Amino acid sequence: MSKRKHHLLDTVLKIPKTDFPSLGSGTKTKVSKTAAPPLLLLQLPEKLSISDLTKSNFVMHDDTDKCRLLCEDQGVTFDLVRVETSNSYVLVKDGKDEETNTENSSENNDGKKKETEARLLRENNTFFLECNESRMDLKSALEEILKPFVYPTNGISFSKICEKLMHSKKEVKDALDSTHALKISNDGEDLKYGILSEEMEIDVWYVIRRVLSEWDGGADYANGVVLDEMIKEILKLNDGTGDDVDECVLRNCLEKCTVSTNDNKTQLDVNYIAKIVAHHVFTMQSAPWEKEEFVAQWHSYMPGVGSEYQPSLDIIKDLALVEKEIQAQEAHDIETFVKDESKQYLKYFPRTSLPKTIERRFKALFKERAKWKLEDLVPYVDDLVETSNYKTVQELLAQHTKVAPRDEDDEEDVEYYVAQ
């Protein structure tokens, strides 16, 4: 009889259950001193084989009983999920451990069956672990981890972040890059990370804006600047001012608005810078701005010359609410003389200041306004779709809002939304 390789040989990994006490706690097994220890049978996913596990390791979280398989070569993480089985299995020794004849592996020359060591695994001491690729929202989890480490604290090390997230180093690194976490060098030790407060970022951008306005090398920053030279200019500007900015902070701020880097030049995102400048203009007064006055002030503060450096109000739809003059007058005690009913004001209402959870976000929004037009509401909730199980904004709104009955003062052909 020819020796055939079982199709599961390279995808079933046998692990002593004593390596996973948290997963094995549910079995009622009494093993004698002479009996073999219970086993876990781990079914690897199709994309992995045992040979792929050379740089993989299992990690466990004692407090939550979470167990994961970290595959560093592939940069992927799997959740280990326990699956009970009522079957019995016979575990036999691998044929490689015995001297066998490929052409006649099942019988000896005298015609007798060949004996081999075997073990019967019943349901009381065996269960499967399925490997399911982790779907954890690493970006949100990372934001929670970094929240206490606001610059200028020393930050948290990369190895500690990996330990908390229980994911492969590649996945953690990608998540750090996507969140633009602040990299804090630490004299050759494990790199540490933190975050910048919104207030500090705006202060730093005030310095960057000044350099872009005055430095010849930044005259056309939308088409590229030499980043290292620009940073040198900013650091020179800091000398003697008492408001020095660390280089790691400068690089973090500029990294967030980088569009691309070609031929040693870095293109900066005009709209990103315009939004930062808008934040600064709004904080210059507590009352809402008359729209035309705001636009004039905003454009005057923007570095760069030309139409491409004159941003549209569309980019600050998640930063300010448009109010009619009478609304601004009543709500904020602004003394105005109504000359034109179409006159509008802009009220500073940044999305970044709102709660990140869905329920609390909608509660805050409907506290601000009893009913919302769709075009006003979407910019304040579309980010929630990216971090939830909802596929579209419409699906999100269907669960947390309802269409309001029409009032006499409502605009025609416009739907308004109220709380559920």
Query: pLDDT by residue (tens digit) across 43-61?
Result: 788 878 777 777 788 888 7
Predicted confidence at residue 83, as pLDDT, reads 73
Residues paired with residue 377 on neighbouring β-strands, in sequence order: none
Per-residue pLDDT tens for 169-192?
Answer: 999 999 999 999 999 876 566 899
Residue 33 has pLDDT above 60, yes or no: no
Predicted confidence at residue 25, as pLDDT, reads 47
Query: To the nearest whole number, what is the mean pLDDT of the chain?
Result: 81
- As a whole number of angstroms, the distance between CA 210 and CA 259 comes to 20
- As a whole number of angstroms, the distance between CA 11 and CA 23 comes to 20
Average pLDDT over residues 295-324: 92
Q: Are 351 and 380 in contact (CB under 8 A)?
A: yes
Predicted confidence at residue 405, as pLDDT, reads 86
Identify the CATH number of the domain defined by range 138-194: 1.10.10
Predicted confidence at residue 338, as pLDDT, reads 47
- As a whole number of angstroms, the distance between CA 293 and CA 336 comes to 14
Lowest mean pLDDT among 121-130, 337-346, 397-406: 121-130
Give whichever of 84-88, 187-191, 321-325, 326-330 has the largest mean pLDDT.
Answer: 321-325
CA angle 107, 112, 113 (to 5 degrees): 55
Q: pTM here? A: 0.72
* Predicted confidence band of residue 237 (pLDDT cuts 50, 70, 90): confident
Predicted confidence at residue 35, as pLDDT, reads 56
Q: What six digits make up the tokens of 102?
A: 């490929």
Burial class from Cβ neighbours inside 10 Å (0-12, 13-18, 19+) for residue 106 reads exposed
β-pairing, 66-71 vs 76-83, is: antiparallel
Predicted confidence at residue 238, as pLDDT, reads 65
Element of type H or E holding 127: strand 126-133
Q: Which amino acid is at 17?
A: K
Q: Are 384 and 359 in contact (CB under 8 A)?
A: no
Predicted confidence at residue 1, as pLDDT, reads 34
Q: Is the C-alpha dihedral spanning 326, 331, 332, 335 positive or negative? A: positive
Q: Coil, strand or helix: which one is 190?
A: coil
Domain positions in the chain are 12-133, 138-194, 285-351, 354-420
Lowest mean pLDDT among 102-111, 120-129, 371-380: 102-111
Predicted confidence at residue 324, as pLDDT, reads 83
- As a whole number of angstroms, the distance between CA 236 and CA 217 comes to 14
Q: Are 78 and 71 in contact (CB under 8 A)?
A: yes
Lowest mean pLDDT among 116-120, 131-135, 279-283: 116-120
Per-residue pLDDT tens for 197-211?
Answer: 988 888 899 899 999
Q: Is the C-alpha dihedral spanning 163, 167, 168, 169 positive or negative? A: negative
